[in-house]
Amino acid sequence: MLISQVVRDFVSAAIHSGGWMDMDRIYLENQVIGLIGEDGLASAEVRPVEADAAELAQLLVEQGVKNQVISELPAEKDILESQLMDLLTPPPSVVNAYFAQYYAKSPKEATDYFFHLSQTNNYIKTKDIAKNIVFPAETDYGTLEITINLSKPEKDPKQIAAEREAVQVDYPKCLLCMENEGYKGRLNYPARTNHRIIRMNLEGESWGLQYSPYAYYNEHCIVLSEEHRPMKINRDTFQRLLKITEVLPHYFVGSNADLPIVGGSILSHDHYQGGRHTFPMAVAEIERPIDLKLFPTVTAGIVKWPMSVIRLQGQQLKDLVAAAEYIFESWKQYSDETVNVVAFSADGTPHHTITPIARRNGELFELDLVLRDNNVSEEFPEGIFHPHPDVQHIKKENIGLIEVMGLAVLPPRLKEEMQEVEQFLLGNSHQMKNYHQAWAEEIKSAQTITAENVQTILQQEVGKVFARVLEDAGVFKRDEAGQAAFDRFIATL
């Protein structure tokens, strides 16, 4: 296809996206040819566009490389692609106005609009996300969800070298700051020209709603504070989470814990994650009720889950917030050394926090409080309640919000490594990593394995390991001693 036709088709897609009119065509075409280094535009027909805009943008980026506007470095390609896709994206004020118009009809229509926009302009990397390996795994706790994350492209040596030479800039302060909206990016920082944020008022503070570029589940969104400040779990957290589910009743929303080891990957910026997805933990049943005498309007119970979860339900937000704060403050002070639960170090360092998750359940508001402890020991220097060494061949990273709810985000290395484990299980020549040896031999001795069932068996065994990972992260273990200790904590409430 001639580059002039690609330009014209891309501009037609930009006009169709809703941010421009036919009168803007010449202006847009000049913007595009300027970005890709063309001197002018040959004749080409204006026609219905069949290819999607992201595919057309890739052709334009390659033309930019040919014209030596940019190099082959992935970062430079991403910056140019983002600048092109920005032409398909209305300015922030217009996006927010559209969102408000749709919201007046229904919250779902508003998020549908914003989600579709974020896909169309390739801010959400739909094609990259499709590379992920996803499968269910049956366990004692129901069906867990397993993802081997292949969506984020690995950096090549030239890119790494270029980043090392790049000037260090403290702007934006982090990937979650509002200053990312429209930011061009640089060799060592992702392009964000086509990025948009919906403004929200939460309990008198300015917050923003955006989608995750590399989503782990349906409509994976991030709600972030306008102020760049550290993550902190407190009463305001519970109020905001429940308020978000009031504003967006079709979305769940949760917060990573605010301490190292048990926290998320970005503790420097106060934010939550949500979306339109029902996680395994959300459908887990209440194992035994809790009588919170101080909060008669709140129904409470212990959830049947590998981690230690207290579920609160009610219709009155203020009562749920008060109950959550009461439990949280109690947990922060609570110790039971018989099960290695210690609230403070000798120097006063705190070790207890929670991972809270809010959702709607019919007419009820629901708040799950997952108890977390980030202590270390001589036996477990990476964390007493962290994946233990015998399961780190599958998962050794922190257990954050998404994993807590039953969705494993496993490293890319496992794609090839599991293929080698399959060959071992089938008795074929293999290059299986030594750290999978004991696990693979155990599977082989317990299962009748054929070429037809080997992948399914291995996937289920990965699921069992992930369940064990969550049990390791559980503060009160699923054995008799652990559950008796859980009941002792509950008795203090």
Sheet holding 407-410, edge to edge: 133-139, 142-148, 407-410
Q: What is the pLDDT of residue 440?
A: 97
What's the Cα-to-Cα distance from 5 to each of 29, 42, 121, 203, 423, rounded to whole Å? 11, 8, 20, 50, 49
Cβ within 8 Å of residue 280, ≥6 positions away: 141, 142, 143, 144, 145, 405, 406, 407
306 secondary structure, DSSP code: S
Predicted local distance difference test score (pLDDT) of residue 155: 56
pLDDT per residue, tens digit, the chain (493 aa), is 689 999 999 999 999 887 899 999 999 999 999 999 999 988 888 898 888 899 999 999 999 999 999 999 999 999 999 999 999 999 999 999 999 999 999 999 999 999 999 999 999 999 999 999 999 999 999 999 999 999 876 655 565 566 566 667 789 999 999 999 999 999 889 999 999 999 999 989 999 999 999 999 999 999 999 999 999 999 999 999 999 999 999 999 999 999 988 977 788 999 999 999 999 999 999 999 999 999 999 999 999 999 999 999 999 999 999 999 999 999 999 999 999 999 999 999 999 999 999 999 999 999 999 999 999 999 999 999 999 999 999 999 999 999 999 999 999 999 999 999 999 999 999 999 999 999 999 999 999 999 999 999 999 999 999 999 999 999 999 999 999 999 999 999 9
Separation in Å, CA 12 to CA 23, 50, 57, 205, 310: 12, 11, 12, 39, 53
Cβ neighbours of residue 326 under 8 Å, at least 6 residues apart?
A: 292, 294, 295, 493
Q: Could you tell me the pTM of the whole model?
A: 0.93
Beta bridge partners of 288: 302
